[in-house]
Structure formats: C-alpha cells, structure tokens
C-alpha cells in the first residue's frame, strides 16, 4: 500500500483528513491501495445518516470543547482524540460481499502481529477480550471505496462515554447495559509508547511512501471546507408525523415520514447503517405514494434496497413500515393449542425441573404433540440465548449464560423418562465459545450412547463459523444423523440469516461426508419468504451435489411482528410437488408440508421410506 505520511501535519482536525481523503479519491489516479493513520483533537464523528442532536450529549460536548464533525461514511457516532488513531484505506476493490471481513483481515492480522489478540466481531467491529477497541465504516465515491477505522489506544474513555447518547435498542441488541462496559483501550495490553505503536502498525502496510506536503494543499482545503459547515454537521430535521425504528442486521434503521391525507410528502432514512451510494433516490421513490402496504410493496418491486444500504433487504424495509398485510392463515396451519398444552403439561414440568430446553417449545413448533407421542423430541443444549439474531427465529438473542456441565446427564434422564426412541440435539449459536460448543455436543452424544444405546441420535448443528476442528469433534462422536439447515435460498440469505453464508453451510455438509461417509446428512429450508419454486429445486440440486441424504421443507410462520414478514402461504399442491421432485433427485427421505419442521417425523426420516 502507498502510505501517506502526515506525521508533520500541524492540523489535527477531521476536516483536514476528510479533505485529504477526497483529494486522494478524486484527483490521484493509481492502482495501488492507499493507507493513512492519523489522530485529531477531541472530536465526535457522526455517521453520514445519523441525526447529530440525537446522537450526542450537546451540553457535555460544549463544556469540554469537543468538536462535532459528520463524516461521509455510514455507521455510528464515535469519539476520538489524540490518544486514539483513525486509519483510512482507499481502494478500488468495491465489491460488497463480506465487505468488512474482506478488507479488515489485514488490519486484524496487523494487531495480532503486535501481540494484540484482536478478533473480528462479524459486522464491523474489532474486539479485544470481547470488548470493542476499533469500529469501522465505509463510503463509496465513483469507483473508489474508503474504509474508516477507529483504534482506541489510550483514549479518554470518560469523554467517550459522556459525549455519546447511544440508542437503547443498540445497547440491548449487544446484550450490554452501557457503552463503558463494551469498550477498551489497547494500551491495556500493548505497553509500548503511542509513537512506537504508530510506526510498528504503519510498517505492516506500507510498500511505498508519499509525504502529504507533496499533494495539492489547496485541493485538500477545498474538499475539507465542507466538514466545517454547520449545515453539513447538523443538517436540517423537518417535523415528521410518523417514525418507525428498529435494530436490524444492517444496523439501526429509522424511517421518518410526513403524511398528508395518507399521502407521503417527505421521507427520510436515518441510522448507523452503511450506504453503498446516495440514498436520496431511494427516499424520493416513496414521495407522493399512498401510505398502505400494497403501495409500499409496489414501490419496492422496482427497487433493490441492498444496492443502497448494505445488508438491508426489501422485505426488511417493508416490514419496518409496520403496515398490515392481509394474508389469511390457511385452516390446515391452525393448531389446537388447548389440547396441545393439556397433553404436554407433564413434559414441560419435567424439562423445567432439570433446566432443559426443547426447540419444540422455544420455537413454538406446531408438531409438539405428534412428536412427543411418537417418542421423538428435540433438545436445545448450551442454553436458551443465542449469539446471533436471525430475522426468522424466535429463540432469544443476547449474552448467553455459562455452559451447564450437568446438561448431558439431565438430557439422558429426560430421554429415559420420556421413553424416547429417537432424540434430536441442537443448540443456539455460541460464537462466544472457543470451540463454538462442539465439545459440549460431543459430551451429550457420548452420554446418550453410554446410557441409552437403543436410542438413535441426531444432531442439528450450527455452522461453527466454518471451523473444521469443531466439526470434526462432532463427527468423531458418531451420531446417527448430522443435520445443518440451509434455511433459505441464496438470494434471500443476507436478509434472513445475515451472519451465516449459504456456500459455507453447503461446505459443512460436504465435509461431514468426507470425514465419515456412514453418517447420514440432513438439511432443512423454510418456504413462504419470497423464494420461487425454481430456486427451491436448484437448492435441492446443491444439496444432492454434496450427497445430502434427507431434506425437510416447511412453511415459514412469523413468530412476532419483529420478525421478517411472510411473503405467502405455500399451497399443499406445491409441497407435494417438492416431495415428488426430491424423491426423483435421490433423497433418502424428504418431508415436505406446511407444518414440517427440521425434526418433524425425525425417526421416520432416519429409517427411510
């Protein structure tokens, strides 16, 4: 990378460095990526689409002479000072797939080379001991991308905490109570001076060097002038009659509308999301449209939202409008809950006594009574709190409790008491654990094999973040079936389950067969999310290409208004078609129906037709 040396620059202001970035983007033409590392006087930097007065503690900022500057990149508000670095990477590599993961790998590696045990959070943060010390944001201009990053070295954390007003939904989504509990200075572990860190960090990136004084200073000042203007840094916030806000995988999204006789007269999108291009055309598309679900869906039919806002799907934006969609639930999906609750009361009491969780209940499965009666149940290990927040799932999201070492014994006890013939063991995602929970799966399988040898064992596992050692741990325990759900077709992946990857899930199923061909593999998908029949058939081909034995296809049922909206109820004839096509493609067993879930008739799936 070409390193721009600014160490002699006396102007410790964001306006200078943002002006420098724009000059390098617009006026310096070269193939090599550009790297800058800089710091400024105490400043709060606001994300491009945030409302300044909403994000900062104005009285505190004013009393402590902290500057306020809006940057051109998306993301959230950050505090920075002379004890905090900003890095800038300017690149022509603007592909949006795994945007931050791809560009930040070098940054994470650089920290690790300096003895700082940095890890990537999965969205846009870099962590040390589970706490954030670096947040990143991006913006695209023409054919160039700028990635901004903050590095807390020995920053004033008191100023950081008191100058920002984080939204409560952001705190709860991270399962934390305050900003202070989430951040850390790297000087806690890197004991060398700030100047030494600067040099060692830069040396890992630069392949050539240019002094900033060799650039056109008048152009830098011209571009930087925008960042000194009150109108840019604060903007205008007209009165709105309706506000919708939610924390989504794409970030905190806030919609503001001005309505007149149910006609949209003004529409703005705010938040800490990452924009891929100017969102004004997206906002303008809704002006003068009728405020109804049908009208909003019609507008979105001709727009691809994720071309404007990274990782935000059309369905999620439509869902955020919170307008009722008139889709009648078919009679065949209705469940006699009174009878269900009466019949399963004993089982629920048993599970509660031993602090056990079944997916059957956590996910409100409509087949609980049938499965319990047939000697099948699905136990959820590693607690009831997931580290991921998928838009379709009813399992709660947050910071999980420590692993219960008695869980394997308690599950064996429940299996014996319930007289089960086939047991399914699944888990929440535990990305907080070193082995992602694989060792606990192994313990449960071993206990079941030893204590209940006649019971067949199926495990429904997460993706283990692609960790082969974790997968091998489960395979080596030799369960009868290993299930990993694809959930949906590739096109909908980012909006349905943004922290996972379709191809990674296929690779996992392939690796199971490579490690042990005798273990049956299985996967499941939901329909009614906006997929087409041809896309489901193509998914079947993908699964057969990795020798997957069993497939389940069921209707997506929306757990609550906070979850992704149902696109349609798939009719019974289409489910029958999927079953017929699946058999023709060579699946050992295919369960396809509106109430089918991953573990539906699991013992029949294992035994085959």
Least confident of 200-204, 415-419, 471-475: 415-419
Cα dihedral sign, 498-504-506-511: negative
Q: Rounded mean pLDDT of 501-523? A: 94
Q: Rounded mean pLDDT of 115-134? A: 85
pLDDT at 66 over 90: yes
> CA end-to-end span of the chain, whole Å?
60
- The model carries a pTM of 0.55
Residue 190: pLDDT band (50, 70, 90) is: very high
Q: Which residue has the higher pLDDT, 275 or 483?
A: 483
Q: Which residue has the higher pLDDT, 420 or 218?
A: 218
Say how far apart CA 121 and CA 447 lie, in whole Å.
Answer: 33
Residue 201: pLDDT band (50, 70, 90) is: very high
The Cβ of residue 235 has, within 10 Å, a number of other Cβ atoms equal to: 16
Least confident of 29-38, 172-181, 313-322: 172-181
In Å, how far from its chain's centre is CA 159? Answer: 29
Q: Rounded mean pLDDT of 40-44? A: 96
Can you give the pLDDT at residue 139? Answer: 83
Q: Tell me which residue of 483, 520, 468 sits closest to 598, measured CA to CA.
A: 483
Can you give the pLDDT at residue 605? Answer: 56
Beta bridge pairs of residue 139: 146
Residue 460: pLDDT band (50, 70, 90) is: very high
Residue 465: pLDDT band (50, 70, 90) is: confident
Least confident of 333-337, 403-407, 509-513: 333-337
Q: Which residue has the higher pLDDT, 483 or 311?
A: 483
Can you give the pLDDT at residue 274? Answer: 87
Can you give the pLDDT at residue 562? Answer: 72
Q: Tell me which residue of 298, 299, 293, 290 sits closest to 319, measured CA to CA.
A: 293
Least confident of 67-76, 158-167, 354-363: 354-363
Q: Which residue has the higher pLDDT, 115 or 384?
A: 115
Q: Rounded mean pLDDT of 81-106? A: 80
Q: Rounded mean pLDDT of 79-87? A: 95
Can you give the pLDDT at residue 176? Answer: 33
pLDDT at 602 over 60: no
Q: Which residue has the higher pLDDT, 237 or 430?
A: 430
| For the ranges 161-175, 325-339, 387-401, the one whose mean pLDDT is highest | 387-401
Can you give the pLDDT at residue 345? Answer: 59
pLDDT at 259 over 90: no
Q: Rounded mean pLDDT of 562-582? A: 89
pLDDT at 344 over 60: no
* Cβ neighbours for 63, distance < 8 A, ≥ 6 positions apart: none
Q: Rounded mean pLDDT of 382-411? A: 83
Mean pLDDT of the residues in the chain: 85
Q: Assign 3-state DSSP to the chain and report helix, strand, coil percentages, each to 5.
A: 40, 20, 40
Say how far apart CA 231 and CA 509 lie, in whole Å.
Answer: 54
Report whether 513 contacts 546 (CB < 8 A).
Answer: yes
pLDDT digits (tens, 9 = 90+) for 434-444: 899 999 999 99
Q: Rounded mean pLDDT of 11-15? A: 94
Q: What is the DSSP string of 341-382?
A: HHHHHHHHHHHHHTT-EEHHHHTT-TTHHHHHHTTEEEEEES
Domains of the chain: 2-234 (3.30.930.10), 242-321 (3.30.390.50), 331-607 (3.20.20.70)
Can you give the pLDDT at residue 173? Answer: 41
Q: What is the DSSP string of 319-348?
A: HHHT-----PPPGGG---HHHHHHHHHHHH
């Amino acid at each position: 990378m070409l390193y721009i040396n600014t160490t002699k620059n006396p102007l410790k202001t964001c306006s200078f460095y943002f002006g420098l970035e724009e000059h390098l983007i617009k006026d310096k033409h070269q193939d090599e990526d550009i790297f800058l590392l800089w710091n400024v006087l105490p400043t709060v930097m606001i994300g491009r689409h945030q409302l300044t007065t909403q994000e900062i503690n104005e009285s505190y900022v004013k009393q402590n002479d902290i500057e306020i500057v809006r940057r051109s990149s998306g993301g959230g508000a950050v505090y920075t000072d002379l004890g905090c670095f900003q890095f800038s990477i300017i690149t022509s590599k603007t592909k949006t797939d795994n945007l931050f993961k791809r560009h930040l790998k070098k940054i994470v590696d650089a920290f690790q080379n300096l003895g700082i045990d940095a890890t990537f959070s999965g969205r846009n943060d870099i962590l040390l001991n589970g706490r954030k010390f670096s947040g990143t944001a991006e913006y695209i201009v023409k054919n160039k991308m700028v990635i901004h990053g903050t590095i807390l070295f020995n920053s004033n954390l008191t100023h950081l905490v008191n100058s920002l007003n984080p939204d409560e939904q952001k705190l709860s989504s991270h399962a934390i109570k305050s900003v202070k509990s989430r951040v850390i200075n790297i000087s806690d572990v890197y004991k060398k001076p700030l100047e030494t860190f600067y040099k060692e960090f830069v040396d890992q990136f630069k392949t050539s060097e240019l002094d900033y004084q060799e650039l056109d200073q008048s152009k830098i000042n011209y571009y930087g002038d925008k960042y000194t203007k009150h109108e840019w840094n604060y903007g205008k916030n007209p009165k709105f009659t309706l506000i919708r806000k939610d924390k989504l995988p794409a970030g905190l999204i806030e919609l503001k509308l001005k309505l007149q006789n149910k006609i949209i007269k003004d529409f703005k999108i705010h938040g800490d999301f990452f924009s891929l291009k100017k969102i004004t055309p997206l906002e303008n598309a809704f002006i003068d449209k009728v405020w109804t679900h049908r009208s909003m869906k019609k507008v979105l039919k001709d727009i691809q939202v994720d071309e404007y806002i990274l990782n935000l799907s059309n369905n999620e934006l439509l869902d955020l409008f919170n307008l009722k969609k008139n889709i009648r639930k078919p009679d065949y999906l209705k469940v006699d809950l009174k009878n269900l609750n009466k019949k399963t009361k004993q089982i629920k009491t048993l599970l509660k006594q031993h602090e056990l969780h079944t997916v059957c209940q956590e996910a409100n499965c409509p087949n609980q009574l049938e499965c319990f009666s047939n000697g099948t149940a699905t136990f959820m290990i590693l607690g009831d709190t997931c580290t991921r927040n998928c838009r379709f799932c009813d399992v709660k999201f947050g910071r999980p409790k420590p692993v219960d070492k008695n869980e394997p014994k308690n599950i064996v006890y429940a299996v014996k008491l319930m007289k089960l013939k086939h047991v399914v063991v699944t888990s929440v995602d535990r990305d907080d654990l070193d082995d992602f929970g694989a060792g606990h799966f192994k313990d449960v399988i071993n206990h079941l094999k030893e204590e209940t040898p006649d019971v067949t064992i199926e495990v429904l596992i997460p993706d283990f973040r692609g960790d082969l050692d974790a997968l091998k741990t489960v395979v080596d325990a030799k369960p009868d079936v290993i299930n990993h759900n694809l959930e949906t077709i590739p096109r909908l992946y980012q909006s349905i389950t943004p922290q996972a990857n379709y191809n990674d899930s296929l690779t996992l199923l392939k690796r199971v067969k490579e490690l042990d061909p005798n273990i049956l593999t299985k996967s499941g998908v939901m329909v009614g999310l906006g997929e087409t029949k041809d896309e489901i058939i193509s998914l079947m081909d993908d699964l057969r290409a990795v020798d997957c034995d069993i497939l389940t296809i069921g209707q997506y049922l929306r757990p609550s208004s906070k979850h992704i909206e149902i696109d349609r109820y798939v009719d019974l004839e289409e489910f029958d078609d999927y079953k017929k096509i699946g058999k023709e493609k060579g699946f050992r067993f295919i369960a396809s129906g509106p109430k089918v879930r991953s573990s539906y008739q699991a013992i029949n799936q294992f035994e085959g037709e």
